[in-house]
Structure 1
């Protein structure tokens, strides 16, 4: 069910996506309300599941993870049990930053972060290629991140 958001809720969400550690008093000032109504709105947005948590966003580059590869995965078996086995196994690989089930030319698309091509080759051989029910993979190396960001509502 889609949440109904007014302009104040949108402003609160926009501010929190840019800085989740903003003090409630400062957030209240920015959205034009007092602290209590802002705190209540935040609690409501959490309660309805629109805000699902708060976390530190780490810099992959500062961690030495400068190499991004997208891996297309084709499966030997796409019955529900096989997909669930794959899903469970892929979640256990920390180098896989994102994994999507895809409709089209492949079954899954993985975003893999590594230090360099040698590190990626090891991850592919030792962790990805041994995942259950994989028939083959195809890799695409990213040359540059043009847009890479956390989801936000934007303006409006």
Structure 2
């Protein structure tokens, strides 16, 4: 597993995105735009009080402020964001449990 600290990506951030649903194709526009962003590791359309949950890793808070202000807030249809900075990664895994029948 790669160590993000050695790759200048030590700050792990999750971002809630709420879209302005006024445009009929806002979800398609957002999906297309976020696919092009190398900074975004994961993007999930979710149920609940917001529309998307994004995961990103950046060098520091200054880099995140720049990403938020210059990129995320300018994505198509973005109405609101909420940021969650990870203080400690308790568990991280890419493994899938395969159950036998």
TM-score bin, normalised by smaller chain: 0.7 to 0.9
* 4+ aligned runs moved over 6 Å, structure 1: none
What is residue 74 of structure 1 aligned with on the other side?
18
1:118 corresponds, among 56, 62, 66, to 62
Normalised TM-score (structure 2)? 0.88
What is residue 79 of structure 2 aligned with on the other side?
135
Unaligned runs of 5+ in 1: 1-56
Query: What is the distance in 2 between the residues matched to 1:111 and 1:78?
Result: 25
Greater relative contact order, per chain length (Cα 8 Å cut-off, separation 6+): 2
Q: How many matched pairs? A: 100
Larger proportion of strand: 2
Query: What is the distance in 2 between the residues matched to 1:125 and 1:117?
Result: 12
Change over 3 Å in CA distance of 1:78–1:84 after alignment to 2? farther
RMSD: 1.9
Larger proportion of helix: 1
Structure with max Cα Rg: 1
Normalised TM-score (structure 1)? 0.59
Deviation at 1:155, TM superposition (A): 7.8
Unaligned runs of 5+ in 2: none
